Amino acid sequence: MKTCKLALIGFGNVGQGFAQILRDQQETISALGLNCLIVAVSDLHKGSIYQPQGFSPADLLQAVKEGSSLENLPAQARGWSAEETIRQSGADVLVELSYTDLQTGEPATGHVRLALQEGMHVITTNKGPVALHYPALQALAQQKGLKLGIEGTVMSGTPSMQLGGELLAGAGVFKIQGILNGTTNYILSQMETGAPYAEALAGAQQKGYAEADPTGDVEGYDAAGKVVILANVLMGASLTLSQIQREGITRLTPADIQSAQAAGERWKLIASLEKTPAGEILASVRPTRLPQAHPLASVGGATNAITFSTALLGDVTLIGPGAGRLATGYAILSDLLAIYRA
């Protein structure tokens, strides 16, 4: 049995989803040979605590559920900043789960860099550091002999990165197409039932899929961040966000949706990456009319999907959740298993 000591930065939806998995799936995880100990949690408003023997995930969840500060739990130290937590917790793995900022990547990038410099493996579901700084962070991890787990940054726990990066690494992937934003796919599905855009968006907000300011989703920035991650991690590119041709779904009208339906086609916000014979990588996010026979055409609601076009296997498509606290919490567990199995 391998014990891994974890420090969590951020204890919001994903941190709590991960704690829930550790609480409820302990037998399964032990059977896989892993003993996960959360030795530190640092959260801006929920409090920061450190306990070298580890906290019970159930106690952490109960405290947050009751709206009580984590700092009311028995702990050896309290009130540490994220940086103090990274430097002083002695954890083997930093799990970085703070807010995504696709403009600066901070503060998460600073946390990831510091943890690698301090000799910790890092797992993050935060797109900011990965979309903006992956090549440099991966180089640092490699130089230190450490792993950087990023499964949850694309399609949450649906294993798109491990499928593309490990299992299909020798299959000659030359093109990747995906529905990588659940909010816009939900909106487009609703528009197909006759709802105008504004009504479909309001429904997505009501269901908690879309934020009060939906720009990041509906204008394609979130999907573009994921395209950069796929390009740089799986295709060895060094693209930046500004190099992605990006168009959102806000200009699609009910008439556009109907005319596609009449032709037996469906509009989808497609994130696409293609290697040209000259080795150039063409990357885009744009609304695309797909024929019904296309593997991504039937993916409805908030579900995500990705198709890898390969030289040896043809098309390989993976469909699954792209968000959610348990689904994204699972991404952390799958990265941990990959690190400890290696």
Cis bond upstream, residue 107 (ω within 30): yes
**Which residue out of 5, 147, 226, 275 is catalytically annotated?**
226
Distance between CA 342 and CA 336 in Å, rounded?
10
CB closer to ligand NAP, 162 vs 309: 162
Binding status of residue 43 toward ligand NAP by CB under 6 A: yes
173-179: strand order across its sheet:
245-246, 281-291, 265-275, 173-179, 304-310, 314-320
Cβ 82 to ligand NAP, closest distance in Å? 4
Binding status of residue 125 toward ligand NAP by CB under 6 A: yes
SS3 content of the chain, % helix, strand, coil (to 5): 40, 25, 35
Binding status of residue 323 toward ligand NAP by CB under 6 A: yes
Active-site annotation holds for 226: yes
Binding status of residue 189 toward ligand NAP by CB under 6 A: no
Q: Are 250 and 219 in contact (CB under 8 A)?
A: yes
Distance between CA 47 and CA 1 in Å, rounded?
31
Q: How many chain residues interact with ligand NAP (CB under 6 A)?
A: 26
Stretch that binds ligand NAP, among 32-40, 119-127, 140-148, 283-291 (CB under 6 A): 119-127
* Contacting residue, 152, 164, 214, 287, with ligand NAP by CB under 6 A: 152
Instruction: Return phi, psi of residue 236, to 5°.
Output: 65, 20
| Contact map string, positions 56 to 85, toward ligand NAP, x by CB under 6 A | --------------------------x---
Residues 191-230 that bind ligand NAP (CB under 6 A): none
Cβ 162 to ligand NAP, closest distance in Å? 15
Q: Calculate the CA 12 to chain-centre distance.
A: 14
If you search the block for the tokens 């807010």, which residue do you land on? 99
Which residues contact ligand NAP by CB under 6 A? 9-15, 42-46, 82, 97-100, 107, 125-127, 152, 156, 323-324, 328
Active site residues: 226
